[in-house]
A and B are shown apart, each in its own frame.
Chain A
Amino acid sequence: MRQISYADAGMEALIEEMGRDATTFHLSTDAPPPLVERFGESRVRGTPIAEGALTGMAIGAAGSGFRPIIDWRMVTFSFVAMDQVVNQASKIHYMFGGQARFPILYRCTVGGGVRMAAQHSQSPYSMFMNLAGLKMILPSTPRDTKGLLKSAIRDDNPVISFESTRLLTLVGEVPEEEYTIPLGVAEVKREGSDVTIIALAWLVHEALAAAEILEAEGISAEVIDPRTLVPMDTDTLRASVRKTGRLIIADEAGPTCSAAAEISALVTEDPATFRALKASVRRVCALQVPIPYSPTLEDHVFPDRNKIAAAAREVMAES
């Protein structure tokens, strides 16, 4: 199968969906040349640096029959648009009694590891998960990125796509034929029987590397990628934990009120899954600090394959 990068897979999704649906248009503070070439400057607009306005304009255009795509670029810049995200986009369908649909895709990059320091190395998806009314995807591979983005564009709700900065250059298999990946379906990336590692985005790859290390030590790790944060495929996560009896959650965000915390609660509040647990649940997350710049500091703050493997050995030692 052909191989393309995570970033190119995302662009391919946009090109295909903008080609099949004339109500789509794209706003971002720099217009992507591949989209401008194909769809022109009317549908693909480079905008003033005014993310708040762009985020709100998407809502009005969506409510007027369009299917806007807004690229915030880094999640950092979504924060200047938070009024529109929190007070408007997440609530407008519900608040108005469901009388109109608001199909919007908001894209942004998340995560660190590229020495960009605190403002440009954030993974704040749980802040958005805390709101009702937004769907969100967090792909870990080029194939998932394309398939999930295509579904996100076709969805009739506001969807936020969190795309990992570290993975933009990752190359992987992407089918040439048409496909989509539904929102709300997790994927078991590696099967195992001793411990379940639920990992997000870049940490999926670190978890897979940790599973290799652990296999050499006789520990069989199952790695699951939720792929979609809202809706969360709780059934698949619980089924794996019922099988292995042990759970580690690995994420690049800090642990406090995080997606990892939510996953831990969702999995363990189910009585059958709770009874199957043989050990305490572990979160392998970033330290709860703003992300620092210097390599020695940044690498210390983030979780990685070694920290995941260490946590696996600990839960194996518990029972």
Chain B
Amino acid sequence: MDISPERQREMLRLMQTIRRFEERASADYVAGDIYGTVHCYIGEEAVAVGVCSALEQEDQIISTHRGHGHCIAKGADIDRMMAELYGRETGYCKGKGGSMHIADFSIGMLGANGIVAGGISIITGAGLAAQLEGKGRVAVSFFGDGASGAGPFHESLNIAAAWKLPMIYVCENNLWAVNTPASSSLSVPDVATRAAGYGIPGMVVDGNDIFAVHRATREAAARARAGEGPSLIECKTYRYRRHTERPTQVDIRPAEEIDAWLQKDPIERLVRHLKSQQGQLTDEEWERMDREILERVNLAVDYARASAFPDPSRATDDVFAA
């Protein structure tokens, strides 16, 4: 593997940050400190981190309703993320968005989105902008297996392929659209098969293998930067938790299936790999890293709690850009 040990440990740190951030977000949601709902990405961390670690700073991504992982992987500040979940004025969206609408345009994170497939054409427009600019920037669309049956997916792939836009379409196939199994809603076993209909490469990768995700993304990014057009990468993965953290959220997924995926945990897998390599990660180092991450998440919560709620008069700000 040509990723340096330092880089691999950084990937591990980001994956574990996503997990610890969301565990805390879920707990604070249940406690009533976070409103609305929270969609957890736990179990899928290798996709966001594997993809974003293969991108450059100026590359752009767009996320889904399950967006915390993409934010953290692209370099978002977890203080401002947590403050947004807490509905505070210091949040990324000044308390206007919440969990489902976190964006940070300054790091190329064009936003989470409450509409399944809603972001795919938006990020394809960023890909068009990248092509018009001609500076080699790449745009990445994250979406789920559910979105691959929606119109924007097909319209966008067709346009991106026809115009050779520098796009990477990353399908996070976690096998379930809420409680509808992909096996009953997809016309083909693999979403990646659909790439053939648009004349672009389609790859299926193990979405819990961060190196496989990283490598596939790097290849796709190289193609995009070379003007060879878009690629579709399907990452087979699994969400550990229910669709949302709402107490009323039903989960019909079979316990055996969940258990089987827990055995394929992407973080444990990377930890095992690093520990097996001489001198790359000791038990102690891993425990220390996790402790530091937990402390960092605590600081984010402290920051959120110390921040003020927005003044009610701010509700009429930013309807229009001045």
Please encode chain A, from 35 to 65, with 1 for each CB lying within 8 Å of some chain B CB and 0 for all others: 0000000110101101011111111111111
Q: What total of chain B residues lie within 8 Å of the partner, measured CB to CB?
A: 48
Which residues of B sit under 8 angstroms from A42, Cβ to Cβ?
132
Which residues of B sit under 8 angstroms from A66, Cβ to Cβ?
129, 132
**Inter-chain contact B101/A96, CB cutoff 8 Å:** yes
A102 CA to B158 CA, complexed, in Å: 24
**Inter-chain contact A100/B105, CB cutoff 8 Å:** yes
Which residues of A sit under 8 angstroms from B123, Cβ to Cβ?
60
Distance in Å: Cβ of B56 to nearest Cβ of chain A? 15
Please encode chain A, from 9 to 51, with 1 for each CB lying within 8 Å of some chain B CB and 0 for all others: 0000000000000000100000000000000001101011010
**Inter-chain contact A43/B122, CB cutoff 8 Å:** no
Q: B207 interface residue, CB < 8 Å from A?
A: no
Distance in Å: Cβ of A132 to nearest Cβ of chain B? 5
**Inter-chain contact B92/A59, CB cutoff 8 Å:** no
**Inter-chain contact B126/A88, CB cutoff 8 Å:** no
**Inter-chain contact B129/A99, CB cutoff 8 Å:** no
**Inter-chain contact A88/B118, CB cutoff 8 Å:** yes
**Inter-chain contact A57/B318, CB cutoff 8 Å:** no
Q: A53-B124, A55-B121, A133-B319 are in contact. Are A95 and B155 (CB under 8 A)?
A: no
Distance in Å: Cβ of A36 to nearest Cβ of chain B? 15
Which residues of A sit under 8 angstroms from B318, Cβ to Cβ?
93-94, 97-98
Q: B110 interface residue, CB < 8 Å from A?
A: yes
Which residues of A sit under 8 angstroms from B91, Cβ to Cβ?
97
Which residues of B sit under 8 angstroms from A240, Cβ to Cβ?
none
Please encode chain B, from 106 to 122, with 1 for each CB lying within 8 Å of some chain A CB and 0 for all others: 10001101110010111
**Inter-chain contact A50/B159, CB cutoff 8 Å:** yes
Q: Which of B94, B118, B159, B320 contacts A135 (CB 8 A)?
A: B320
A64 CA to B58 CA, complexed, in Å: 11
Q: A60-B110, A96-B101 are in contact. Are A25 and B132 (CB under 8 A)?
A: yes
A88 CA to B114 CA, complexed, in Å: 10
A94 CA to B314 CA, complexed, in Å: 11
Enumerate A121-151 residues with CB–CB distance to B below 8 Å.
Answer: 132-133, 135
**Inter-chain contact A47/B159, CB cutoff 8 Å:** yes
Q: A101 interface residue, CB < 8 Å from B?
A: yes
**Inter-chain contact B124/A56, CB cutoff 8 Å:** yes
| CB nearest neighbor in A for B103 | A96
**Inter-chain contact B125/A57, CB cutoff 8 Å:** yes
Q: A48-B158, A96-B97, A97-B92 are in contact. Are A64 and B103 (CB under 8 A)?
A: no
Q: A87 interface residue, CB < 8 Å from B?
A: yes
Q: A48-B158, A60-B110 are in contact. Are A101 and B321 (CB under 8 A)?
A: yes
Q: A42-B132, A98-B94 are in contact. Are A133 and B124 (CB under 8 A)?
A: no
A101 CA to B105 CA, complexed, in Å: 10
Distance in Å: Cβ of A291 to nearest Cβ of chain B? 27
Distance in Å: Cβ of A240 to nearest Cβ of chain B? 26
Q: Which of B93, B103, B122 contacts A56 (CB 8 A)?
A: B122
Q: Which of B114, B125, B317 contacts A60 (CB 8 A)?
A: B125
Q: A52-B151, A56-B152, A97-B96 are in contact. Are A43 and B132 (CB under 8 A)?
A: yes
Q: A109 interface residue, CB < 8 Å from B?
A: no
Which residues of B sit under 8 angstroms from A64, Cβ to Cβ?
60, 125-126, 129-130
Q: A68 interface residue, CB < 8 Å from B?
A: yes
**Inter-chain contact B151/A57, CB cutoff 8 Å:** no
Distance in Å: Cβ of A101 to nearest Cβ of chain B? 5
A95 CA to B319 CA, complexed, in Å: 9
Q: A53-B159, A57-B121 are in contact. Are A83 and B321 (CB under 8 A)?
A: no
Q: A52-B121, A59-B122 are in contact. Are A97 and B97 (CB under 8 A)?
A: yes
Please encode chain B, from 81 to 105, with 1 for each CB lying within 8 Å of some chain A CB and 0 for all others: 0000000000111111100010111
**Inter-chain contact B155/A87, CB cutoff 8 Å:** no
A64 CA to B132 CA, complexed, in Å: 11
A285 CA to B14 CA, complexed, in Å: 60
Distance in Å: Cβ of A32 to nearest Cβ of chain B? 18
Q: A108 interface residue, CB < 8 Å from B?
A: no
Q: B62 interface residue, CB < 8 Å from A?
A: yes
Q: A98-B321, A132-B319 are in contact. Are A60 and B129 (CB under 8 A)?
A: yes
**Inter-chain contact B159/A83, CB cutoff 8 Å:** no
**Inter-chain contact B111/A50, CB cutoff 8 Å:** no
Which residues of A sit under 8 angstroms from B114, Cβ to Cβ?
87
Distance in Å: Cβ of B234 to nearest Cβ of chain A? 21
Q: Which of B92, B156, B319 contacts A99 (CB 8 A)?
A: B92
Distance in Å: Cβ of B312 to nearest Cβ of chain A? 15
**Inter-chain contact A56/B125, CB cutoff 8 Å:** yes
A132 CA to B315 CA, complexed, in Å: 12
Query: A56-B124, A60-B123, A84-B121 are known contacts; what are 10 more A-B pairs with Cβ within 8 Å?
Result: A45-B163, A53-B121, A57-B156, A59-B125, A60-B122, A61-B132, A64-B60, A95-B97, A99-B93, A99-B105
By a beta-carbon cutoff of 8 Å, the part of chain A in contact with chain B is 25, 42-43, 45, 47-48, 50, 52-66, 68, 83-84, 87-88, 92-103, 132-133, 135, 156-157
21 CB-based A-B contacts, threshold 8 Å:
A52-B152, A53-B156, A56-B120, A57-B121, A58-B125, A60-B62, A60-B122, A61-B132, A65-B129, A65-B133, A83-B118, A88-B115, A93-B319, A93-B320, A95-B101, A96-B97, A97-B96, A99-B103, A99-B106, A133-B319, A156-B321
- In order of increasing CB-CB distance, the 8 nearest A-B pairs are A60-B125, A56-B121, A57-B125, A98-B318, A97-B93, A53-B155, A64-B129, A97-B94
